[in-house]
Structure 1
């Protein structure tokens, strides 16, 4: 099943069910007005949403209309909790080697950080930047949205609570990353609003691409129309279930919690490329002593997309432009 939220002037938008080919949609108000409402009552909402989805794909659903991703908000425009991981240790290893960083990282303990969850950005919305001197960067990630998870749940129980999967551009302002990290209390100015794909899908939509709690598909990135990378999600050092279990060790996770994977990074980076500029620039430091790839600047456009084995887009594309912020 594929779900999206369309703009209607409200903070949470209106929930629609989207066809598998992403061409059509139907209003889901008869089941749940918003995705927040659907997540709060998933066991009750899911059958009705599935019924709409099946009829939409069969071409028998009344009220179907053309799906326009430019009208989409983030699938869950705001939520109670967004946590981001750094689940691809290859990314951290590259950064540490390039810049001689010393990181206290206990063996086997995943890296997680609480993030902003009150203002997600839609897939085609312009992204406002206060200053280009803040070293604007993109970060391609996978993300999951979960149902209620009880404190102390196992990794298997947590994985079973994953209801939806999507992709994100977790924008970073690199000028602030190291200073804020050294303060020892998490990121603020380094991590502004996160951008979401137009569609979130149930795990079954990925077929063999969802295995061992990981999205084992390529994430394709392009900058200004030019392909830059296509790393695969299979190399996560912790599965989403394991990350959620660590997060839920001594707390309940409420329905609608979003968990990001962290920058997708593969050991064969020379072949598949990097999902963020910081990693690309670090590789340039290691290879030639200095970075050469510039940070993002005004008017640049980024695109993120995942396709299935038949070349069909799964989540739709994040396709947005970076612009100077106006007050």
Structure 2
């Protein structure tokens, strides 16, 4: 099943079911007014939502309309908790090697940070930031949205509570990042609003591509219409289940928590490219001895997409432009 949230002038929008080919939608607010309410009452609403999804794919839903991703908010426009991981260790290894960083980390413990969760952006909104001197960067990631997960859950138990999967662009302002890290807490100015794809999907929609708690599909990234990379989500060193198990060691997770994978990164970077400017700049240093890739400027466009094995977009595109405030 595929779900989205339609702009309606409120902060949480209207819940939609979207057809598998992303062309049609149905308003399901009579079942669950918002995505958050659907997640909190998942067992009660799942059958009804699934029945509408099946009919939508058969083109037999009365009142169905053309799905316009331009009118979509983030699938979950805001949530109580957003945690981002750095689960592709290759990304960190590249950065550490290129910039001679001394990072204290344990290969058995996932790197995590709690993030802003009250101002998610939709897939086609212009992205405003105060200054080009902030060194704006992008990071293509996969993400899961969970139901309730009790403290002490195993990796498999936690994975069973993954309700939806989507993709995001985790924007970064690199000028502020290292300064904030060195202060000992977390990111604030370095990590402004996150951008999400128009649609989130249930794990079964991915078929064999959802395996071992990972999305085994390419993250296709373009900058100004030109290919930038297509690393595969299957290279995650920590699965989503393992990360969720770590988080629930001493806490409960409540329905609607979002967990990001961190920058999708491939060891075969010469073939697959990257999903992040900082990684590409680090690879410039390793390959050429100098940086050849600029940070984002106003007017530049970014696109993120994930396609299934038939070439169909799974989550719909993130496609947006960098602008002055």
- Structure 1 length normalisation: TM-score? 0.99
Q: CA deviation at 1:184?
A: 1.2
Residues 3-55 of structure 1: CA distance to partner in whole angstroms, max 9, x if unpaired? 00010000000000000000000001111010011011111111111011011
Which position in structure 2 is the counterpart of 1:309? 309
Which position in structure 2 is the counterpart of 1:182? 182
Q: CA deviation at 1:193?
A: 0.4
Q: CA deviation at 1:107?
A: 2.9
How many Å separate the matches in 2 of 1:73 and 1:170? 16
Q: How many residues align?
A: 325
How many Å separate the matches in 1 of 2:35 and 2:92? 34
How many Å separate the matches in 2 of 1:225 and 1:308? 21
Residues 138-161 of structure 1: CA distance to partner in whole angstroms, max 9, x if unpaired? 100000000000001000001000
Q: CA deviation at 1:169?
A: 0.1
Which position in structure 2 is the counterpart of 1:215? 215
Q: CA deviation at 1:296?
A: 0.5
Give structure 1 stretches of 5+ with no counterpart: none
Q: CA RMSD in A?
A: 0.6
How many Å separate the matches in 2 of 1:265 and 1:131? 27
Structure 1 stretches of at least 4 aligned residues deviating more than 2 Å after TM superposition: none
- Structure 2 length normalisation: TM-score? 0.99
Residues 161-180 of structure 1: CA distance to partner in whole angstroms, max 9, x if unpaired? 00000000000000111111
SS at match of 1:22: coil
Residues 215-249 of structure 1: CA distance to partner in whole angstroms, max 9, x if unpaired? 00001000111111000001100000000110111
SS at match of 1:271: helix
Q: CA deviation at 1:260?
A: 0.1
Which position in structure 2 is the counterpart of 1:298? 298
Give structure 2 stretches of 5+ with no counterpart: none
Q: CA deviation at 1:204?
A: 0.5
Which position in structure 2 is the counterpart of 1:86? 86
Which position in structure 1 is the counterpart of 2:225? 225
Which position in structure 2 is the counterpart of 1:195? 195
Which deviates the most, 57-66 or 283-292? 283-292
Which position in structure 1 is the counterpart of 2:143? 143
Matches within 5 A, 1:134-283: 134-283=134-283
How many Å separate the matches in 2 of 1:112 and 1:200? 22
